[in-house]
């Protein structure tokens, strides 16, 4: 469906969009997330509350925070965030075993999202007591991520990465990037994260980059990108995820970053791209960090596509089979995160 701000075809991106148009779209998207909140504080459509509702609540919180809302705000959005944070801090939602993807079936994928949200919200709690609970739950989530990384892997290529279960012996880039973002955010917030855990995860990222290497380990393909698992060819969402993750780890000018940037500039997203919202969150933030023409091109494309395809109620919905069943909270939260690049409100994107 095409929203009321439509002014280009679904596959096109305009050359420039006035900031007030983007602000109007962001406000409408935030409004949808607030209206989607359920009485217990979960942010998820009622008919999908059993579909990864904990992870979706965390994702919605990050989406709202990324465009400037905080739980302490005396606003409708602030009140919704306070209720959502209180939901996440319930002992049956974030249990003592520290596995936050267990209750809603989102597994390690959701665990990484929830842990990242908890670490990003540190200092934004409604009061000191809530901030204390956020810090304790965040460290608990980090500890499980670290334990899962240390599980013996079936293949040395998977060392440093994560998969869907805490005891998995393999890894993929999609699950790994959420855990790595959570670790980096936690380390920035002063939580206990060993440097070797970050280094091992970066090693997995490098092995996921599709290129032959010389005897010194240097990549030979100057324009390639990251695949879902080591050895697989690059695809949009994974190329963008690897690009952002490397930069969040401080490797802004690594050969893999330069190569993935060139690869994405040559194959930018269109509305029908597989895993459009998931990939575009990483694409917008990752290309934004590159700066210059790469950042400008990405921002124009992302804003054009999202403004052209917002629904009248302020939400977004997946256009292809990969995201068609994920729900509007998932798509809307990722859309807000994609449109928030210019603000840098979330701590993890500020360095």
332-350 per-position pLDDT tens digit: 999 999 999 988 889 888 7
Helices 107-120/173-188 angle, 10° precision: 20
Q: Please, which contacts does 158-162 make with residues 24 or more away whose CB atoms are closer than 8 Å?
A: 158/204, 158/230, 159/200, 159/203, 159/204, 160/199, 160/200, 160/201, 160/202, 160/203, 160/204, 161/201, 161/204, 162/108, 162/112
Over residues 86-118, the pLDDT tens digits come to: 999 999 999 999 999 999 999 999 999 999 999
pLDDT category, 325, cuts 50, 70, 90?
confident
Determine the Cα–Cα distance for residues 199 and 226; give it in Å rounded to an integer. Answer: 17
Give strand pairing partners of 226: 209
| pTM (global) more than 0.95 | no
Among 3-7, 260-264, 288-292, 310-314, name the one with the lowest average pLDDT: 3-7
Give the model's pLDDT for residue 351: 65
pLDDT for residue 15: 52
Gyration radius of the chain's alpha carbons: 19
Find out whether 194 and 146 touch, Cβ atoms under 8 Å: yes
Higher pLDDT, 16 or 29: 29
Q: What is the pLDDT of residue 338?
A: 98
Residue 16: pLDDT band by 50, 70, 90 thresholds?
A: low
Q: How much is the pLDDT for 9?
A: 39
Mean pLDDT of the chain: 92
Most confident residue range from 9-18, 243-252, 317-326: 243-252
Of residues 71 and 223, which shows the higher confidence score?
71
Beta bridge partners of 124: none
Using DSSP, state whether 50 is helix, strand or coil. coil
Cβ contact 44:38 at 8 Å: yes
For CA atoms 16, 20, 22, 25, give the dihedral sign: negative
What is 233-269 written as a DSSP string?
PB-HHHHHHHHHHHHHTT-TT-HHHHHHHHHHHHS--
Residue 3 CB neighbours (<10 A): 18
Percent of the chain with pLDDT over 70: 95
User: Does pLDDT of 78 surpass 70?
Assistant: yes
Q: What is the pLDDT of residue 51?
A: 84
Indicate if the pLDDT at residue 12 is higher than 80: no
**Predicted confidence band of residue 2 (pLDDT cuts 50, 70, 90):** very low
Q: Which tokens sit at 190?
A: 């002063």
Residue 291 backbone zone (phi > 0: left; psi -120 to 50: alpha; other: beta): left
CA distances (Å), 138 to each of 20, 117, 119, 144, 162, in order?
35, 9, 6, 10, 18
| Angle, helix 328-339 to helix 292-308, in steps of 10 degrees | 140
- As a whole-number percent, the residues of the chain with pLDDT over 90 amount to 82
pLDDT: which is higher, 16 or 65: 65
| Least confident among 11-20, 224-233, 237-246, 264-273 | 11-20
Please say whether the beta carbons of 155 and 170 come within 8 A.
Answer: yes
Backbone angles phi and psi of 162, in degrees to 5: -135, 160
User: The tokens of 303 are what?
Assistant: 């804003």
């Amino acid at each position: 469906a095409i929203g009321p701000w439509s002014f280009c075809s679904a596959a096109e991106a305009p050359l420039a969009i006035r900031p007030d148009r983007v602000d109007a779209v962001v406000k409408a998207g935030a409004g949808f997330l607030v209206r989607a909140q359920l009485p217990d504080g979960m942010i998820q459509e009622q008919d999908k509350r059993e579909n990864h509702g904990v992870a979706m609540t965390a994702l919605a919180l990050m989406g709202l925070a990324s465009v400037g809302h905080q739980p302490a705000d005396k606003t409708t959005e602030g009140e919704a965030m306070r209720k959502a944070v209180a939901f996440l801090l319930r002992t049956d939602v974030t249990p003592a075993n520290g596995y936050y993807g267990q209750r809603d079936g989102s597994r390690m994928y959701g665990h990484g999202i929830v842990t990242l949200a908890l670490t990003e919200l540190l200092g934004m709690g409604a009061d000191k007591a809530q901030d204390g609970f956020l810090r304790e739950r965040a460290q608990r989530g980090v500890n499980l991520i670290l334990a899962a990384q240390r599980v013996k892997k079936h293949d040395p290529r998977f060392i440093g990465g994560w998969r869907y279960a805490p005891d998995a012996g393999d890894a993929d880039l999609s699950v790994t990037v959420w855990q790595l973002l959570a670790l980096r955010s936690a380390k920035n917030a002063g939580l206990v994260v060993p440097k070797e855990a970050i280094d091992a995860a970066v090693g997995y990222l490098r092995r996921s980059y599709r290129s032959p290497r010389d005897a010194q380990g240097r990549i030979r393909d100057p324009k390639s990108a990251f695949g879902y698992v080591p050895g697989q060819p690059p695809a949009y969402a994974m190329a963008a995820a690897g690009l952002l993750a490397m930069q969040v780890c401080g490797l802004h000018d690594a050969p893999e970053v330069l190569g993935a940037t060139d690869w994405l500039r040559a194959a930018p997203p269109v509305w029908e791209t597989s895993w459009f919202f998931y990939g575009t969150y990483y694409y917008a933030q990752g290309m934004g960090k590159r700066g210059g023409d790469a950042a400008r091109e990405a921002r124009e494309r992302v804003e054009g596509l999202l403004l052209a395809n917002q629904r009248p109620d302020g939400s977004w919905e997946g256009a292809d089979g990969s995201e068609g069943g994920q729900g509007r909270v998932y798509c809307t939260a990722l859309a807000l995160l994609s449109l928030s690049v210019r603000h840098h409100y979330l701590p993890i994107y500020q360095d």
